[in-house]
Amino acid sequence: MSSSEIAENDGNVGPAKDDRKRGFFGRIILFIQQVISELKKVTTPTRKELINFTLVVLAFVVIMMAIVFGLDKLFSFLTIFLFGSSV
């Protein structure tokens, strides 16, 4: 939201006065224009950044899998210890 939109909006959260005057299709067009404006601000990562991000995500997933696996084994051991084996 630009400073002019904030000034027009008087600091209120919600649509500006001219947004309420727009019809259904006018609001859709405004939304699409805002989406395109935001997409122009997006920067794509370089190949090196992309590889680093991917490695970080994979490492996080492996660590979380290890934690869940460890807790699962711990709880299954405790369950068998407390209630005995039914097999």
35 with 43: CB under 8 angstroms?
Answer: no
Q: State the pLDDT confidence band at 69, using cuts at 50, 70 and 90.
A: very high
- Predicted pLDDT of residue 21: 78
49-67: b (≥16 Cβ within 10 Å) or e: eeeeeeeeeeeeeeeeeee
User: What does residue 22 show for φ and ψ, rounded to 5 degrees?
Assistant: -70, 150
Total-model pTM? 0.54
Mean pLDDT of 73-79: 95
Q: Where are the domains of the chain?
A: 3-40, 44-87
Tens of pLDDT, residues 18-68: 656 788 899 999 999 999 999 999 999 999 999 999 999 999 999 999 999
